[in-house]
Structure 1
Amino acid sequence: MTFQNIVATFAGAFIFPFLIRMIWGKMVENWGNIGGWMAAGFIVGTTWTLNHGVGMIFQTGAWVDMAWAAGIGLFTASVVSGDSFSKGVPDYLAALVGGTLGGFLLSCFL
């Protein structure tokens, strides 16, 4: 893996939780449940297209679902912004389990 691939992969993994943290809550605040559905389609769809469709991330054969990137990124952002470490652990574990199940299901037919 070259340095350029490392930087692009890190940036691609950063974009997803960053957009969730910055946009999702505001869309739900402004438009209610429909805003949540719109955020899901916009954020997940756009970042998936950037990372996998355009090829921003570099994969070497191992699969990692985008839920892992979201869980790790949002957990880190919460801890850095002042929330307690223990408060974010259940959400982090749920993201790991969800990401593992999602990746496994994808590997069954892809």
Structure 2
Amino acid sequence: MLYFKSVIGFLLASLFIMSDLWGEFASIGIFGGYLAAIIIVSPMWYLNHSVGLIENDNRAAWVDMAWGIAIAGTLRDTFINGFDALTSALPTLSIVILGAVAGGISVGLIEKHMAKSRIIEDTTVVKTTNAKSVLKGGYK
């Protein structure tokens, strides 16, 4: 059921993002992009993440609805325009994948640094607490 709910979440997000409605908002200009984000993306984000259509396991990589939208957009153009659309999109997809890998490595390094900082802070608090307890006569 978990995977079925996620597929429904990806499907809904893809249907609304890839619809002609997005193009109508884009024709307005920059304001249309903000309007589309509020009217289309925000409800999809709410359904997928707050309501929980797309569930992410704490032990696995976090998957966002953008992954489903990217797959749907790539396959839609491939089905409409043929295999040439996919081959012409490969350089862009390669750069996106490299960016995702670089982002994942960066986040991992940042989390590792934050964990070290927390350990140092916790050790300092313990040492400070013990020193205060000794000064107050807490340890005998």
TM-score greater than 0.5 by the shorter chain: yes
Aligned Cα root-mean-square deviation (Å): 2.7
Would you say 1:65 and 2:98 are equivalent positions? Answer: no
Query: Percent of counterpart pairs with the same letter?
Result: 28
Instruction: Show structure 1 runs of 4+ deviating over 3 A.
Output: 90-102
Give the distance between the partners of 1:45 and 1:98, measured in 2 at CA.
24
What is the deviation of 1:16? 1.8
CA spacing shift, 1:15–1:38, aligned 2, 3 Å:
same
Higher relative contact order (CA 8 A, sep 6+): 1
Question: Contact 1:19–1:43 at 8 Å: present in 2 too?
Answer: yes
Would you say 1:21 and 2:22 are equivalent positions? Answer: no
Give the distance between the partners of 2:97 and 2:15, measured in 1 at CA.
18
Cα displacement string for residues 11-49 of structure 1 (whole angstroms, at most 9, x for unaligned residues) = 1012222211102112112x2221112112322211111
| Structure-1 residue corresponding to 2:52 | 55
> SS at 1:81's partner residue?
helix
- Amino acid of the residue matched to residue 35 of structure 2? M
Q: Aligned pairs, how many? A: 103
- Amino acid of the residue matched to residue 11 of structure 2? F
Query: TM-score if structure 1 supplies the norm length?
Result: 0.72
**CA radius of gyration, larger in:** 2
Give the distance between the partners of 2:39 and 2:98, measured in 1 at CA.
23
Query: TM-score if structure 2 supplies the norm length?
Result: 0.59
- Amino acid of the residue matched to residue 82 of structure 1? N
